[in-house]
A and B are shown apart, each in its own frame.
Chain A
Amino acid sequence: MTVEIPDSDAIKQAVKNAFSKHGTTVDELIPVLNDINRALGYLPAQALQEVSTTLRVPKSQLFSVASFYQMLSTKPRGKHVIQFCESAPCHVVGGREVWDAVCDHLKIEDGQTTPDGMWTLLTVSCLGVCGVGPVMVVDDDMYGNVTPAQVPEILARYS
């Protein structure tokens, strides 16, 4: 299995949904891109083209925005995305050991996607739940106080 690419209609629909929710003013650009990214998993070139036409924003600006923000991606990601906090508060309470366990388990490194398209592994800056570090987020599920031993069990919940 490889990473799935959404078809043209799905992209059109996602763009339409985002605009109907946020409106078509340029100050809503980032919320709109956020929504499309969430719906499709990334920002396909076709989606950026449509946003560009509707908002009358140059494509160059859209690509610079899309590649600047950490939550936006211009490349397809795996079926499940793991975000691992690498900031200091998680680091001092055992984050590094958990990170090693995740890498060992999936056999990939930061920024990579597993060959079967299942997992994308990303390190991120603080997620704002530092009271329960080390913190790892799988898709929308947050896991706190993670230990290396828990990693295989947590990842096994996703298929």
Chain B
Amino acid sequence: MKHTRAMVLVSGDPLSLERGAMDVYNRLQDEIKAFGIDQEVNVTLVPELGRHDAAPLVVVYPEAVIYGPVKPENVHYLVEEHLYKGRVAAELQASVKELSGKIAWLTARKGTLPAEQRIVLERAGLIDPTSVEDYIVHDGYQALGKVLAEMKPTDVIDLVSKSGLRGRGGAGFPTGTKWGFVAKAPGSPKYVICNADESEPGTFKDRLLLEGDPHCLVEAMVIAAYAVGASEGYIYVRGEYSLAQERLHLAILQAKEMGFLGKNIFNTDFSFDLHIHSGAGAYICGEETALIESIEGKTGQPRSRPPFPTTHGLWGKPTLVNNVETLANIPAIIRHGAEWYRSFGTPSSPGTKVYTILGNVNMTGLIEVPMGITLREVITIYAKGMKDGKAFKFAQTGGSSGSVIPASLQDTPMDFDSFNKAGVSLGSGALLICNEDNCVVDMAKVLLNFFRKESCGKCNPCRIGCQRSWEILNAISEGRGKMEDLPVLMELSANLANLSNCGLGQTAGTPIHDILTHFRAEVEAHIRLKVCPAGVCRMREKVLR
């Protein structure tokens, strides 16, 4: 039997691949074979090592030495020194300056940086996502075993309720309550759907989990199905995530072979079957009823609610729809208990949240931190400050459907309730940090352009409201705006929020409302003076006669 003494991870994110990670990966395998140690050393291409500095990265475990940027011609030396002779190849190590805190979570494991708390992404990037054995060694399927051996479905729901877990898709609905609704709903069969149609601009947390730890999701879905009494499940993955789909297919196959999925799981009389359903590029399908329509082979147009999917979902049957990140919390909660989970985050929003940090900062990437951290902390600690020392102007949170948060609100704790109170939205966890060189009108224009194109066209407030708002913003950004446009914009924004059928339209007007509340002077400058203070908008006519 193969006995692995060292594990080598190569970063396979798009940037690393562009910089030759594949060559490094192939060279590593060749060299390891050439040294005759291929039975002892395991090389894995992982989707993402969290940060993009010094790419491509090579990390060697168990010592957790980080090398980068590694070039194919360095590989021979690296293998000879570290893996063959057992010495750290110091010359190739990523320099301290490049790495200080940048791979925070790797160093956190060695106790040097408090940095992050990983529950959802505990294993992503550290295990071989194509190996079920690797997952099992890292506590995988333990929670499922515990659930099927010791717990009744109601116990599972009680435990999830007690943990205080809230849906991570953006709305923050208590997960245990939702599970309870589905479990109590009459009718059969019941369905469990995982919403992996991650299309919120700036969000890629689910992709990381699907590519890096697919078995975690499979395990969570089996547990969820057992709790609510479902016999069939779907993972709705967006069409663009082909690697994630591949990994999930493999994971499902492996889980079936091992008896974690399929008929009589763990020799109990509980059976559950899981399918992958690929999307075809429509943002609206992230809305749960649109997603259900899409699985039924129709256009993704949201249904009217109520009735909610918990009672009338897929094929009109009770259906549980949960986000990837929500489900990924479940195995850890089962293993460690509700008390443990509540020790992270705030009392009303326990646990951690995965954020993607983007924009004009020194470090972009992905972090998982306890709920309740502030924007200022994220920018100074994890993003390592603003790029080129420019001033922080606003943040756009939660993808397009979130809020534009001005610098004055950067000390609000980021949890569901504090954000609600401040009138802003947490959304999916994307944090787009923008500096003084960005124009709010331009930003709102880009966001409305997105909604204008992604609106499904079912209800008028959204279909017409998004288009009209975009036209007005476009006129303002070209110096053709009038002061009378502003109340019209406010009205459109309010109508979108109040009259639209689903979440897309209801949030589409938020950026307009936010920029007119927090940055009115800047918008008015575009109209009164025909000047874009940030110098972004290309004013067509300086003076309008």
Contact = CB atoms under 8 A, between A and B. Distances in A.
> Do A and B originate from a single complex?
yes
B496 interface: no
A92 B360 contact: yes
B296 interface: yes
A93 B240 CA distance: 22
B207 A128 contact: yes
Contacts of A148: none
A132 interface: yes
B366 interface: yes
A30 B278 contact: yes
Contact of A92 (B14, B241, B432): B432
Contacts of B13: 129, 131-132
A125 B278 contact: no
Q: How large is the interface on B (under 10, 10 to 19, 20 to 34, 35 or more residues)?
A: 35 or more
Interface in B355-369: 356, 358-360, 364-366
B163 interface: no
A27 B281 contact: no
B58 to A, nearest CB: 19
Interface in B21-69: 52
Interface in A51-110: 55, 57, 61, 64-65, 68-72, 86-89, 91-93
A65 B198 CA distance: 20
A72 B446 contact: no
Contacts of A68: 282, 299-300, 456
Interface stretch (B135-143, B153-161, B447-455, B520-528): B447-455
Given A30-B294, A87-B450, A89-B359, A72 B365 contact: no
B209 to A, nearest CB: 12
Interface string A1-37: 0000000000000000000000000111111011000
Interface string A128-142: 111111010000101
A27 B338 CA distance: 37
B110 interface: no
Given A131-B365, A131-B366, A33 B280 contact: yes
A41 to B, nearest CB: 15
A93 B297 contact: no
B18 A143 contact: yes
Contacts of B297: 26-30, 55, 57, 61, 65
A86 B202 CA distance: 11
A155 interface: no
B446 A128 contact: no
Interface in A103-133: 124-133
Interface in B326-377: 356, 358-360, 364-366
Contact of A72 (B198, B280, B356, B432): B280
B232 to A, nearest CB: 10
Contact of B14 (A65, A71, A91, A144): A144
Contacts of A147: none
B434 A130 contact: no
B198 A88 contact: no
A85 B300 CA distance: 21
Interface of A: 26-31, 33-34, 55, 57, 61, 64-65, 68-72, 86-89, 91-93, 124-133, 135, 140, 142-145
28 contacts: A26-B297, A61-B297, A68-B299, A68-B300, A69-B239, A69-B282, A69-B299, A86-B446, A87-B202, A87-B450, A88-B202, A88-B396, A91-B446, A92-B360, A93-B359, A125-B201, A126-B201, A126-B202, A126-B399, A128-B198, A129-B14, A130-B202, A130-B203, A130-B358, A131-B52, A131-B358, A140-B242, A145-B15
Given A71-B240, A130-B430, 20 more contacts: A26-B297, A27-B295, A27-B296, A31-B278, A64-B299, A69-B280, A70-B280, A71-B280, A72-B280, A86-B450, A87-B201, A92-B432, A92-B438, A126-B199, A126-B200, A126-B201, A126-B203, A130-B201, A130-B204, A142-B14
